Chain A
Amino acid sequence: MGPVGDSPRPDRDLAPGWHAYGLGLGLVVLASLLGLALQHWHISANQVLTYLVAVVVAAVYLGRGPALLVSCLSVVAFDFFVIPPPITFAIPGPENLPTLIELLIVSLVISSLTTRLKTQIAQQQRQALATQALYAMSRDLAAAEDLPAIIQAIVANIGQTFEREAVILLPASTPEGDFKAYPTENIAWLDAQEKATAIWVREHQEPAGRGTDSYPQAQAHYLPLRTAQTNIGVLGVRPVTPGPYLTPEQRQFLATFASVASLAIERVRLAETARRAQVLEATEKLQTALLNAISHDLRTPLVTITGALTGLEQNTMPLDDLSRQQMIRTAREESQRLNWLVGNLLDMTRLEAGTLHIKRTPCDIADVIGTALEQMGSRLNERPLTLTVPATLPLVQMDFVLIAHVLINLLDNALKYSPAGSPLEISAQLHGTTVEIAVTDHGPGLSQEDLERVFDKFYRASPTAWTTGIGLGLSISKGIVEAHGGQIWAQNHPTGGLCIHLTLPLTAPPHTFKKQPCPTF
């Protein structure tokens, strides 16, 4: 692309400097001297042609004004030097007058035609380059997927093509006003007056600012960004260094850029709206699932508790001590379950709201596992449990409570999805700079599809009568482990059963007594 930028600048031919006129004068002097020399050496030549050459040279290289000057001067010089008597302004006689008039007409025609041709060529070149520039911007815009990328493409291309700093103002409610300016850096010059100009442009949908009649004192030239359907915002272009205004041709071209840019901005906006609608739909689905889950899973324990308590309250119902104790135990277990479900729902909410803060402290993995087992209480009593935790494991920087919570969820899951009395295994081992913890059950395992989806929210593999819970436990565990920079995955154990692995980065030297800053605990 490179030199594209040079072309749409004001054409030198349209505003030639005084030196061009000087050169024109020089050409006439040169032609006259040549004529005098030819006369001196008695070389027979048509001196009209000499002056015409000067006119053509002037028209091609110096532009319209100097060419006209050369045309007129040539006629005068011809009269002065050539028409006898030489070196006098003779009144041309009838034999010389046609020659003079012909010279004048031919000179004027040649200079006019040549300069017009030249202008046309230059214009075509500019248009070709402009089309190329526009194509380049369209290509960049097509590749851009979001608003920042689009803005960057527009600003970069306009900057390159017009040698101007571009700013895009999009409607937004910000503390500074009802505009948000992009790009957000290097816009210190965008003061109140510039903004007022932009607001005027948005309201009137007409260009304003520098080089126009409205707000001509503004630093930048502003024009509306709009598509057939909507007004997008305002585009401002500001010369990097003070220079000439944009030519009408450039303005037209800038307007084309603006409409292409508008379409691109509208495109990403529509895509964003569509995405939001999708998210909203997904959220609604999730909420429905959540409500269903709550109404079912939270009410079930309540039914049991209420049933047990009212049964105990009724004096008329004959209950032996054993059934009385059983009812009390059921009610207690169900209330624990209810408490656990509520806790999980709260954790999920905190995870999603981003308010679950990880408090990393150096933790002893064995202590965390012990705490989880302690909190599982009597539920583990009938399960043969194998613990493989090397005493040499280093301390791990992690949130003690949350990781204990993860392990409780994994154990809860293992209990639910494996037959009563079947063994469970918990192991921890060091792999380089991470610790891997695995919880394995001896249940039926999962299908390949379930292995991948088991961490999804509200997902429950093969709902069976003896499983309860909202299907949040593993999803929360995944959230917590990932917040620690670790990974969690499920796989079927070669000898049957499901194994859930999680890894946690150590991020602290093992068993060192070196003093180091320790987060709050």
Chain B
Amino acid sequence: MPNILIVDDEQAIRRFLDTALSAQGYTVQEAASGAAALEIATTRPPDLIILDLGLPDIPGVEVTRRLRVWTQLPIIILSIQETEEQKIAALDAGADDYLSKPFSMGELLARIRAALRRANPATAHLIFKVGELSVDRARRRVTLANQEIALTPTEYELLCVLVCQPGKVLTHRQLLIQVWGEAYANELHLLRVNISNLRQKIEPNPTRPFYILTEPGVGYRLRTE
């Protein structure tokens, strides 16, 4: 079973995460500071890190940055009172996902599974399927309940960027750069309009989206299960 490193300065949170994750069959390591986390990550590398942003010694964003220098192991951020800017900073620094405290255990487990799946290329398929939606990147075909959906090239590109990293929160900036390019990193209205159009086409109820989920103030995420 995968090994998970929990980094949080609050003992209560470490203890309950340890219990819950162990019960799911994961093996768990704990670190109470950024320095300890960096050391464990090099000496006994885990398969995934759950990282608190508000660490007493090294800020979570900085820990992420230092880890990303040499490893791509999945990082899920936990934040308690952090602003959207800090979440965005952590995601742009290379974190895979984030959850705001208090979070539900079911949600955390789902995010862990998605992150581990993404980290393992063996399970990546050319055809992505969730619910009624299916994206076949080899044939550039998008279907909803077996009905082919006609998308504009931009909408398709946007959907593909989301499909490439299913379940991962992609910040507005990341999406804009990956779909439109570096020069459009701040043209948020492009993203809003295209997400809206994409939802009109693939969502059964565009005002209550099922597939493309909004992360308020941060970005978007594709549902995986």
Q: List residues of A whose CB falls within 8 A of some B CB.
A: 332, 335-336, 339, 346, 359, 361-364, 366-367, 369-371, 373-374, 387, 389, 391, 395, 399-401, 404, 508, 511-513, 515-518, 520-521
Contacts and interface: CB of A to CB of B under 8 A. Distances in A.
A401 B192 contact: no
Contacts of B187: 515, 518
Given A370-B207, A370-B214, A401-B84, A521 B188 contact: yes
A367 B102 contact: no
B190 interface: yes
Contacts of B217: 359, 399-401, 521
A291 B190 CA distance: 46
A369 B216 CA distance: 11
A511 B193 contact: yes
Contacts of B192: 362-364, 367, 395
Given A339-B102, A367-B196, A521-B88, 9 more contacts: A362-B192, A366-B207, A374-B213, A391-B196, A391-B206, A400-B217, A516-B189, A518-B187, A521-B186
A401 B100 CA distance: 14
Contacts of B200: 391
Interface string B131-142: 000000000000
A146 B104 CA distance: 55
Nearest to A513: B190
B125 interface: no
A346 B82 CA distance: 12
Contacts of B199: 366
Interface in B155-196: 172-173, 186-190, 192-193, 195-196
Contacts of A395: 189, 192-193
A335 B16 CA distance: 16
A366 B196 contact: yes
Q: Which 8 A-B pairs have the closest CB atoms?
A: A401-B217, A362-B189, A518-B186, A401-B216, A364-B192, A364-B196, A371-B214, A361-B188
A363 B217 CA distance: 10
Contacts of A521: 88, 172-173, 186, 188, 217
A371 B219 CA distance: 12
Contacts of B206: 366, 370, 391
Contacts, number: 74
A314 B88 CA distance: 43
A400 B196 contact: no
A369 B186 contact: no
B209 interface: yes
Interface centre among B85, B189, B193, B207 (most CB of A within 10 A): B189
B67 to A, nearest CB: 25
15 contacts: A339-B102, A346-B81, A359-B84, A362-B192, A366-B196, A370-B209, A371-B216, A391-B196, A401-B216, A508-B189, A513-B190, A513-B193, A517-B186, A520-B85, A521-B173
Contacts of A399: 217
A368 to B, nearest CB: 8
Contacts of A373: 207-208
B126 to A, nearest CB: 30
Interface centre among A339, A346, A515 (most CB of B within 10 A): A515
B214 A374 contact: yes
A516 B195 CA distance: 19
A362 B188 contact: yes
A391 B189 CA distance: 15
A511 B200 CA distance: 15
A209 B189 CA distance: 66
Contacts of A391: 196, 200, 206
A336 B217 CA distance: 21
A387 B214 contact: no
Nearest to B186: A518
B54 to A, nearest CB: 15
Contacts of A367: 192, 195-196, 209, 214
A391 B201 CA distance: 12
A263 to B, nearest CB: 51
Nearest to B206: A366
Interface string B54-98: 000000000000000000000000000100110010000000000
Nearest to A404: B216
Nearest to B183: A515
A186 to B, nearest CB: 44
Contact of B207 (A389, A404, A508, A512): A389
A245 to B, nearest CB: 64
Nearest to A391: B200
A508 B189 CA distance: 10
A348 to B, nearest CB: 15
A252 B214 CA distance: 76
A518 B209 CA distance: 25
B208 A370 contact: yes
B164 to A, nearest CB: 22
B95 to A, nearest CB: 17
Interface string B111-144: 0000000000000000000000000000000000
Contacts of A513: 189-190, 193
Contact of B102 (A335, A346, A361, A389): A335
Nearest to A403: B216
Interface centre among A336, A364, A517 (most CB of B within 10 A): A364
